[in-house]
Amino acid sequence: MKIIFASHNQNKVKEIQNLLGDEIQLLSLTELGLEEDIPETADTIEGNSLLKAKYIWEKYQMTCFADDTGLEIEALNGEPGVFSARYAGDRKNDDANIDKVLSKLSGHENRNARFKTVITLINEGQEFQFTGIVNGEIGLEKIGQNGFGYDPIFVPEKQGKTFAEMTLNEKNLFSHRARAFHQLVNFITEYKGINS
């Protein structure tokens, strides 16, 4: 059985393939030779995840899934949210995004935030969504060398350190992305109607 994962990120593909086992083969966008940018014009994380999955389904008519992730900060009314990757501009620069968040939060006592990943699976035209959330807070400065994106300033609750201070294995035990992908994997492995 083959399923398309709407991503060029080979690390993500390997991670999910490992969870799925040998019976299901993931095909990345790179393997499909799809280089064009998939539209991400929705105003929610759920919407962008759905847009990407629908784009692939309509193009290939194969079972597929797509994910979208955002950081939502309470004191900033949910920003950067759906604009997380390009919060400081279209260059998608992690350091610039982090600097903008820290600047906007300057003077705020409430630093509550959450990371949210939404995955949309489309099988035979049917849509299914899976959501993973990790609550935490934004630190006062960048700490840690691991991870990517906002990991150096996001401190998950009850952890006492940023995602960027954790190994990938530590982060994958409970991260927003891992929680959403585990739901997806459980659904795929248990759901008998999946066709490719």
* Per-residue model confidence (pLDDT) at position 193: 58
Q: What distance in Å separates the CA atoms of residue 118 and residue 44, rounded to the nearest whole number?
A: 10
**Winning range, highest mean pLDDT, from 68-72, 147-151, 182-186, 192-196:** 68-72
* Per-residue model confidence (pLDDT) at position 90: 80
Task: Give domain status of residue 195, yes or no.
Answer: no
Task: Give domain status of residue 35, yes or no.
Answer: yes
Beta strands 2-5 and 64-73 are: parallel
Chain centroid to Cα 126, Å, comes to 21
Q: Using pLDDT thresholds of 50, 70 and 90, give the confidence band for residue 195.
A: low
Whether 132 shows a pLDDT value over 80: the answer reads yes
Mean pLDDT rounded to a whole number for the chain: 91
Whether 196 shows a pLDDT value over 70: the answer reads no
The pair of three-digit structure tokens given for residue 123, joined into one six-digit string: 């099988």
Backbone conformation region of residue 159, classed left if phi is above 0, alpha if psi is from -120 to 50, else beta: alpha
Domain count, the chain: 1
Could you list the residue range(s) of the whole structural domain that residue 177 is in?
2-190
Q: What is the CATH classification number for the domain harbouring 88? A: 3.90.950.10
Task: Give domain status of residue 71, yes or no.
Answer: yes
Average pLDDT over residues 44-63: 96
Indicate which residues carry an active-site annotation. Answer: 68
Residues written for the chain: 196
Q: What distance in Å separates the CA atoms of residue 33 and residue 87, rounded to the nearest whole number?
A: 29
Q: How much of the chain exceeds pLDDT 90, in percent? A: 70
Radius of gyration of the chain (CA): 17
Task: Give domain status of residue 196, yes or no.
Answer: no
Segment 6-19, tens digit of pLDDT: 998 887 788 788 77
Task: Give domain status of residue 76, yes or no.
Answer: yes
